[in-house]
Amino acid sequence: MVSPVGISMLGSGNVGGGVVAALNAASNRYERSVGRPLQLRQVLVRDLARQRDGLTASQLTTSFDDLISDEGTQIVVELMGGEEPAYEYIARALASGRDVVTANKEVMAKHGAKLLALAAEHEVRLLYEASVGGGIPIISPLSRDLLANEVSALTAIINGTTNFMLTAMADGGVDYKDVLAEAQRLGYAEPDPTADVEGFDASYKLAILCGLAFGLELFPEEIERQGISLLASQDFIYAAELGYTIKLLARARLDDGHLIASVCPTLIYHDEPLAKVDGVLNAVEIEGNLVGHVLFEGPGAGPTPTASAVLADVLALARDIVADRRPLAVTPLIPAQVLPSASHKSRFYIRLTVPDQAGVLAQIAGALGERGVSIASVLQFEADDLDDAAELVLTTYLAERGAVNDALKQIEEAQFVQRIGNLMPIAGLGGAR
């Protein structure tokens, strides 16, 4: 009798349920693909009493020690989420000689280099396609298909929750609080949406992508990060007037050996491909010296797209086990030399509420000009919530973010304005890419 490839799972939530359903529904096809049957042996859960579709009581356990001591388990699939105890369990699984598949972007962003080195030490593999982009294949192309390229830049929309919210705000003039409530009602946003709306999730994914694209170890805290919670409906109206839409862009590029990395709301020209990525879709654009620009687009979250990526990794590992192939050597990452956010250069969008009186624009232009920031365009609108006030929307030519921040601080302290509404970089059509 042919011995099966044994798989055990850590966690059985929405994604885990999708993996179990696919393993049961496509077992014959997977067996033909691998050359042996796949056997789901144990699943680590919190509550044994809760019934789970496709699983028997004998497959469930609340003990990681029992799971990792099972001699028939060859592949461990981690779908718990969060940093701990997931990191500890992944490390212990690798050290025990098991291959591991994970969808955990936080663990891979913070500890990926250590875990990959641990996998190499024990001659096993750690695969993590589902940690970025859900169902979009991006980890594998960067690891293999684009390996001959020297990647100079990447730009991505890699959080489906915020992309859904920004699309709704752009299409319907909906305020942030209302669209967040709708995203939570539909299940796109968590009850505590902080990780998504403040850009933490996207920064984890960008750190992972930078390791693959540039061979650099970048930690999430080194990434300039700004969420979407300060955006107002009028920002989308003004952006459209200027020919742009607003996306939460994760961007990284090399500049003379230094890495520039950011996650922040960004104006992007409406004809750019990324501007058309709407709803819960994700997209990653890679710029390589041989291939030019390549765009990967697809569903970035959800049980079935993520299960697709997880199972692709499981099948790849199972084939290697059956063929007795040894894992490839892992190239160590080089610590990234990260440029501080103040030195990031871009064109900028600035929204200000000002007294409706003569001379204000000249004072603002003077403060910006003193720091070498030139105004490219000016739009003026009525301020709906204040009497005798107007909203100014300025765009700048290429400038350093630190210079713009310093000028706005002076403008605020000198009380040239009633409030500073928003500051965002502009990408595309002359913006920094």
**In the chain, what's the furthest Cα-to-Cα distance?**
89
Paired sense of beta strands 258-269 and 224-225, if any: parallel
Amino acid (1-letter code) at residue 222:
E
CA distance 283 to 116: 25
Residue 409 known to be catalytic: no
Contacts of 13 (CB under 8 A, 6+ apart): 79, 81
Q: Which of 415, 379, 373, 368 is nearest to 397 (CA)?
A: 373
Nearest to 190 by CA among 82, 78, 263, 70: 82
Q: Compute the distance between CA of residue 335 and CA of residue 218 in angstroms, rounded to an integer.
A: 7
Distances in Å between the alpha carbon of 116 and those of 95, 289, 318, 330, 382?
11, 27, 19, 7, 56
Are 120 and 329 in contact by the 8 Å Cβ rule? The answer is yes
The full length of the chain comes to 433
Q: Compute the distance between CA of residue 311 and CA of residue 273 in angstroms, rounded to an integer.
A: 29
Distance, in Å, from the CA atom of 148 to the CA atom of 163, rounded to the nearest integer, reads 31
358 CB-near residues (< 8 Å, 6+ apart): none
Tokens 């403008």 appear where? 411
List the alpha helices (DSSP H) in 147-302.
160-172, 176-185, 194-197, 200-214, 233-241
Residue of 105, 110, 177, 205 marked catalytic: 205
The secondary structure of 344-397 as a DSSP string is -EEEEEEEEEEESSTTHHHHHHHHHHHTTPPEEEEEEEE-TTSTTEEEEEEEES
Residues labelled as active-site residues? 205
